[in-house]
Each structure stands twice: as structure tokens, then as C-alpha cells.
Amino acid sequence: MRLLQICALTLFAFDATVWGASEEKKAKPIKPCTVLSPTSGSFFDLTPISLYPPKAGKKLKKDDRTESWHAKGYDYPANFTLNVCAPVMEGLKDVIGVEKSLWRNVSAFYKMDGKTYSIGQQSSSPIFRGRKLVLNYTDGSPCPAPRLSHSLSTLDKDTKRKLKDDDDDDNISKDVRRKSTVISFLCDRDPLAPKAVVSFVGSPDDCAYFFEVRSQAACAGVNDAQQTLGPGGVFGVIVLIAVLVYLVGGCVYQRTVMHQRGWRQLPNYSMWAGIASFIKDMFVILFSSCLRFMPKRRRYSRVSNGNARGRAGRTDDENRLIDQLDEEWDE
């Protein structure tokens, strides 16, 4: 009975451990720059196209970049530089309307007329809007004033210039609109395509900027962080479950059907007892063999020297001489 209880408790403890591990794994947050699709449950990881400056003294690989991603403005009077989930690799200075402590967190910018404009601070939280994977950057440089309507077309040029030219005002209020960026990611499985292709889509009001990134990193993949067990671990779990089922099922069968008690409740008791006896005999044989090679204890022995050997030799000579004299006397 006790053996059956031990088997049942072992199986219960194993189930509780597996259940607890699964619950802990569900509660584990995902890594930055990764996201799970709310509709399909697919995993997306944008870290392969997130660029970082090379470490000092580290040799650059063939595919390593030393600058951020670039996009042509085409009809827009500036070109753009941006990074994915990380600040741009270029060191920025004198960013319009942004505090100095935040210059190193700019993830997208452009330069115009010798001035640097931020179009968003770093963010590592991509989201889904429907089936579209997007990444938002906010809190860039202050936006210009809204475009003048036709009713204001009669204003003189100086008044229009004052209304429009608010980008250079560093003392802007906190409630002012600031430039932002929306990046849409599209899956590109072409093996010959570049790692990422960034395209500028447009900016309707010089305040919100829209980009499109085609990359293989935007394709659905497998969440490696949730795969806590490798192939060997999965095989080990399967073997452990099989052993537990064998032990518990065998114990129940031997007890209820065969009416066995004690250790004989174990399945195939005779076979396991024979294996244990064989291992015991082998251990005894090996232990005895090792004892033969161990040095024996020294015992006291009688010490003989050269004088005793010399006396024994002289006695033999005397006996031979006496025998020889006896033979001559008889003749």
C-alpha cells in the first residue's frame, strides 16, 4: 500500500510542477521590439533590423552597418534617417525644440536648411492596428502652425511668415503639437532582398510622417523565449512520463489483479530483482579484484646473515671429508 501511495504522489507532484511551469511561462512578458498578433497569435521580432553602434575594438562583419536606415524624401525637401526600436546611430546636436538630455533618444530625424528636426523619440513597443504591424515615434520637434486657409490669403507675407515659422522657437509651450512618425512593416521573404528597405510615404501636414519598411524581420516567426525546452528536454519529458505511467500502472495491476504486496507490487519484479542481484555481484567482484592490488601488511620474519650461511657450508664440507676418509679406511 505504501509503495502505491509513493507512485501516486510522484505522479501528482510531476503534474503540479508541469502546470506551475506552464502558468509561469504564460505570465512571462515578451522582449522589447517584439509583439504577438492578437488575431493569429503569430510572433513578430523586429530586433534583427534594430541597429546599434559597434562595440569598441570589435571587428565588423560583412553585414554590420555603421549608420542608421535612410529614406529619400522625393517631393519632400529633405531626406530622412531613422532606426527601429532604438535611437539613431548618428550623434545629434542642436535638435530643434528638444531638450539636450533627449537628443540621444531620437529615433528619426531630418535636416533642412542646416537645422536638425526630430520626428520622434525612441520606442520599442510595436503594435498591431488590425492586420498592420506599426511602430510609433512621438515627442519630436514642435510642429509648424496649421496651413493657412483661403480666408487668410489676404494677409501680408510677414504675418504668414510669423505664423508658420514656429519650428525655431525653443521656448514653446508643453501643449504644442510635436512631430511624430508612424512606421508600417511589411513582410518580404525574398532571400536576395536587403535586410530592410525604408520608404517615405508622405507627410500631409509636416507634423506626422509615414514610412514603410519591407523586411524579412516583419514576417511571422517562432518565439524562442517561450521555448524553454529544447529537443533533448522534450524527449526527456516524454521518457519521464512513460516511466511514471509504467510504474503507476504496473503497481495498480500487480496489486489489484495479481494481489501482490510489498516490493512485489513493482511491475516485472523478478526482472528488476535479477538486475539488482547482477549489479551487486559485479560490485563484489570488482571490489575483490581491487583488494588484490592493494599492498599487503608486512610481517616480522627471521633475519639471517652471511655467518649462518658460512657455517652451514663448512658443515657440509666436513661431512664430505669424513665420508671420504671412511671409504679410504674400508679399502
Q: What is the pLDDT of residue 152?
A: 40
Is residue 308 assigned to a domain? no
Provide the mean pLDDT of the chain: 79
Residue 224's pLDDT is 64
Alpha-carbon distances of 77 from 105, 180, 211, 241, 326, rounded to whole Å: 24, 18, 16, 66, 145
Q: Tell me the three cell numbers of residue 226.
A: 517561450
Q: Work out the widest C-alpha separation in the chain, in whole angstroms.
A: 175
Residue showing cell 519630436:
140
Q: Does residue 253 lie within any of the structural domains?
A: yes
Q: How many CA atoms lie within 13 A of 29 on its CB side?
A: 4
- Residues of the chain with pLDDT below 50 are 1, 4, 19-27, 148-155, 159-160, 163, 166-173
Q: Is residue 190 packed enough to be buried (19+ CB in 10 Å), middle (13-18) or exposed (0-12)? A: exposed
Structural domain for 129, as ranges: 32-222
| Judgement on whether residues 166 and 188 belong to the same structural domain of the protein | yes
78 in a domain, yes or no?
A: yes
Q: State how many domains the chain has.
A: 2
Model pLDDT, residue 307: 53
- Res 25: pLDDT: 45
Query: Bridge partners of 135?
Result: 183
Residue 163 covered by a domain: yes
CB 112 within 8 A of CB 96: no
In contact, 108 and 118? CB cutoff 8 Å = yes
Q: Judge if 80 and 206 occupy the same domain.
A: yes
pLDDT score recorded for residue 106: 96
* Residues 48 and 72 occupy one common structural domain: yes
Of the candidates 133, 107, 135, 136, which has an alpha carbon nearest to the alpha carbon of residue 218?
Answer: 133
